[in-house]
Structure 1
Amino acid sequence: MTIQNITLPLPEHLYLRFEQIAKATQQSMTDVLLHAVKVGSPPRWDDVPVIFQAELAALDRLDDKALWQIVRSQQSENEMNRYETLLHKNANETLASAEKDELNHLRQEANRLMLRKAHAAALLRWRGHQLPPADKL
């Protein structure tokens, strides 16, 4: 197989992203870039709400072990029960003002967790891992 070298100008944000992935996966920049050419670039985080972007961007720097921990993470049982209670009260229009704030906070935290889990899973798939079905995590 013949190898061709090319010079390619990369925008700084892409270069930094690939560099972070190379460090996190302990691969050379060349290997990461070749992988990107073969399978496409890593999953994007810049099309999610702004309040979550920095947190998702930071996942690029994590190694695979840390990403697996995120994929397997869950809300606590107490948080899930409280969220369900507040949702029920909200449906019956019996929420107090403080409870509405709490429901909004719990909803935002649930969204944050789901986005983190989904992005970590997408990064792991991009890095070549097979993920089991969600009920097996």
Structure 2
Amino acid sequence: MTVKDIVLPLPEDLYVRLEQTARATKQSLTDMLVRAVRAGSPPDWSQAPAAFQADLAALDRLDDDALWRIVRSQRSEADAARLQELLEKNADDALTAGEHLELDAQVAEADRFMLCKAHAAGLLQWRGHAVPPFERP
């Protein structure tokens, strides 16, 4: 991992609090600062499956209204019903080869949809909004 050095002026009270915490936890001040910056950073999408990273990264550039639309969005009833149907047929080992492909695509799309909703919610929270928990369909 590449490391970049920065100069960061901190208010004295924050510096003292971080320095005391670093000492108490037997960490370096640098490690404590990195930890604090990580904790206060926007949600990280880099650990998501590679197939979804571009979609999640794109959310970082959206304004709050667009993120709220994503958070409030729902999959269509037809999509949800078809996914349920395919899952039930799969449980009974009754899928055709074409339905296997369709199931894989439906599951990937459902995963993408939920990851985008969750990331959008995380970004809104990081930006200071109160985001209610998702309701189950």
What TM-score, normalized by structure 2, do the two folds share?
Answer: 0.70
- 3-state secondary structure, aligned to 2:74: coil
Per the alignment, residue 118 of structure 2 pairs with 118
Give CA-to-partner distance per residue, 1:22-78, whole Å, 9 cap, x none: xxxxxxxxxxxxxx95x6110100000111111101101000000000001111110
What is the deviation of 1:133? 2.9
Per the alignment, residue 84 of structure 1 pairs with 84
Fraction of identical pairs, as percent: 58
Matches within 5 A, 1:1-137: 7=7, 40-135=40-135
Task: Return the alpha-carbon distance in structure 2 between the equivalents of residues 93 and 116 of structure 1.
Answer: 31
Letter in 2 for 1:51: A
Instruction: Give the length in aligned residue pairs.
Output: 103
- 3-state secondary structure, aligned to 1:134: coil
Task: Return the alpha-carbon distance in structure 2 between the equivalents of residues 106 and 53 of structure 1.
Answer: 18
What is the deviation of 1:106? 0.3
Task: Return the alpha-carbon distance in structure 2 between the equivalents of residues 59 and 133 of structure 1.
Answer: 19
- 3-state secondary structure, aligned to 2:75: coil
What is the deviation of 1:135? 2.6
Q: Could you say what the CA RMSD is over the residues aligned between the two structures, in angstroms?
A: 1.8
What TM-score, normalized by structure 1, do the two folds share?
Answer: 0.70
Larger Rg: 2
Letter in 2 for 1:68: W
- 3-state secondary structure, aligned to 1:48: coil
Letter in 2 for 1:59: L
Task: Return the alpha-carbon distance in structure 1 between the equivalents of residues 108 and 87 of structure 2.
Answer: 13
Extract structure 1 runs of 4+ deviating beyond 4 A.
none
Letter in 2 for 1:67: L
